[in-house]
Structure 1
Amino acid sequence: MSLPMPSRSALAVLGGLWTVFFFLGMSPGYYTPALSNILASRGLGSEWVAYAFLVGPLAALISPLIVGSIADNRFPAQKVFAVIGMVSGLLLAAAFAALERLGSPHLFLGLFAAASIVAAPMWSMLASIAMVHLRSGEREFPVVRLGGTLGWMAAGVLTSFVFHFEGSPGAGYAAAITRFIGAAFALFLPNTPPMGNSRSLRTLLGLDAFRLLKERDHLVFFSVTTLLSIPLAVFFMHTPMHLIALGSTTPSATMTIGQISEIVAMLLMSVVMTRFRVKTVLMIALGLSALRYALFSVAGSTGNSGWLIAGISLHGLCYTLYFITGQLFLDRRVDPSMRTQAQGLLTLASNGVGSVIGILFGKFLYDYAVVQQHGGWTAYWWVQAALSALCLPVMAIFYQGVAVKKEEGAQV
């Protein structure tokens, strides 16, 4: 006998969450793929590119757990989200104004860092808000999260073909305006009051989230996430540069190919999460991640951009099957009073620790392999593929999973 389908969330809830995700994804979609070329157009070399890409990961080490704890224990999450979105939007506009009008890379980095620290919790917070109000997370979260993917794609197309912001600080202004609009829309999301009531300093600093690591599968998941994020950190930093080296004139638009596969993966998530174990889905994602960089390496050895585009097309599958599955995994396994902090810990592991290591290592490897021509792009991407592949045996050996009730779906 088939199980009854869960009742659907109200259309207004789905539409509101989708809209905020759209603007949230659109904001970095303007400047992230173009950032390397924007800095290069200002005469700033690979060192400054690395510094700029390092800012976000460093920010993710600071604020997600603290802001997550505030939302879990003190103030409604949608209001916290709106405030940090507006403030970070203003700081982002100031950062790109400093780069364009003053030509000051140091001031740009300072303001960019401030904007990133304020904005770092936004993705994890919005995911947590969505989990609270969606009646069927496995079926509906991928749908509303798809808004972020489409927003990112729209920004890439606008950057390359409408605004022609490939090397212009105008991409930063567009991102700031978009982020502010998304934050304003968040005020109309359903009220999400705090579920906890702790006032201890340890709780307010978000340190309680680290208790999750005492559970074996949590420890394995967060460890693999950190390791996977090391090669993932250079995807947007160096892939556009490789595209240009192979003759592309529209790298931002080309990078959106990855979001096309992300759309496909999002639409399949409801089927995947109810028919397969979480471990199986995560391992497929890890395998595809290694394959993606292997294809990049072939592009480096052949000089054929088709291999690079093929790898880019896998990016959305890799990201969705691992990180969206991970968010749903945490929502199933974590106490509601820790929900936002758990998502913040995921941000810290992926966008923070893993990305910091990945960007620093990526800069060193890029300078050695590409700039100094010790193997070129071929060697560079093979190393990143090997790092991705290392995640597979760790997940296969140490992750156990637990059985859940049949009506709740697959094992986690």
Structure 2
Amino acid sequence: MSDDDLDLAFEGAEDRGRWKHRKKEGGGRTLMALTLVLLLLGGLAGAGYVGYGKVKGFFSAADYAGPGTGEVAVEVASGNTATDIANTLYKAGVVKSAAAFVEAAKDNPKSKDVQVGSYLLKKEMKAADALSMLLDLKNKNVNKVTIPEGIISLQIFDRLSKATGIPVADFKTAAKSPAKLGVPALWFKRRDGKKVNPTDIEGFLYPATYEFPKDAKAADVLKIIIEHFNAEMEKLDFVNQSAKFQISPYEALVAASIAQVEALLPQDMGPVARVLYNRAYTGNFPCSCLQLDSTVNYWLRISGKDAKSSEKLLTTELHDPKNPYNYDVKGMAIGPISSPGEVALKGAITAPKSDYYFFVTVDQKGAMAYGKTNAEHEANIQKACKNGIPIC
């Protein structure tokens, strides 16, 4: 098409009267030119629309508009970037595009606070809403349980059952195989000649707050706890540190579990552990036995009975030959009597040297007094009585 044809076409559009005075044969060319121009403009408009759509899609990530439907579990792993999380959400059908989530994360300064774990989200969510749900810990796909220091395995099973809905019986069954749950073989040996019960999980259920996947079985839950126990023992260098006392890690664990129950204040964990070592291993204490109410009470509890305060324990209970934790058993107790925490564990492997063979709580704040002889111990007991401690 010539420039003249274009000119004619535009001229005709601007002033209808002018083209009427042209030659008749020129009118056909003008009409054709006008038609072609309209087609050309229409084509350009169409191409422009398509191009706009492509550009719009490039600069604005595809995103769902609604709040989403249904439920889907997604996992945020350790070390995940916003892009990693975005890809996970896209594959799970939560967001329409990974780019939409990345954009939402860039726009929200709190996005860096997303925690590791499993979350319950919805499918086909607006990316910003998905991010908000990840930031709300209520949406974590977990059962949260806190195991405090000093409680026994039966109490722990009860707590775990209430939080997860898994029957206590399932935990008891799974707990009978500590080695299968991840307890290393080194924990089933002692240096004092006593045998370790390979079915006893007591002492290995490390006190902490845990988050368990909602679909976890009893064994899965206990494996997570044991994994944490192993990590904490590694952090404390517990195995090597206990060797300095010429005892096995298991014996030190037993001492820690007793100190956890006997000592009320952190500063007494180590000194109490030293008293236990002095009684059990030096040969300078009559019978080389522990003679502790706490071990006797442990046996009562795992036998389905209630623990008793010191003044209410019967002589027959203290010396019960059927109780392997009784007053007369020589050496360190045959196993842990609680779940010791970090402070008690540290106390067991850093127990300060002393010639003490006795300890007793002497005031309402929980402070301990120590004695080298029975006479000193009796004096400390009188002090405790004057301070209102019910042991007289």
Could you say which TM-score interval applies, normalised by the shorter chain?
A: under 0.3
Q: Which has the higher contact order (CA 8 A, sep 6+)?
A: 1
Greater fraction of residues in helix: 1
Q: TM-score, normalised by structure 2?
A: 0.24
Q: Which has the larger radius of gyration?
A: 2
Q: TM-score, normalised by structure 1?
A: 0.23
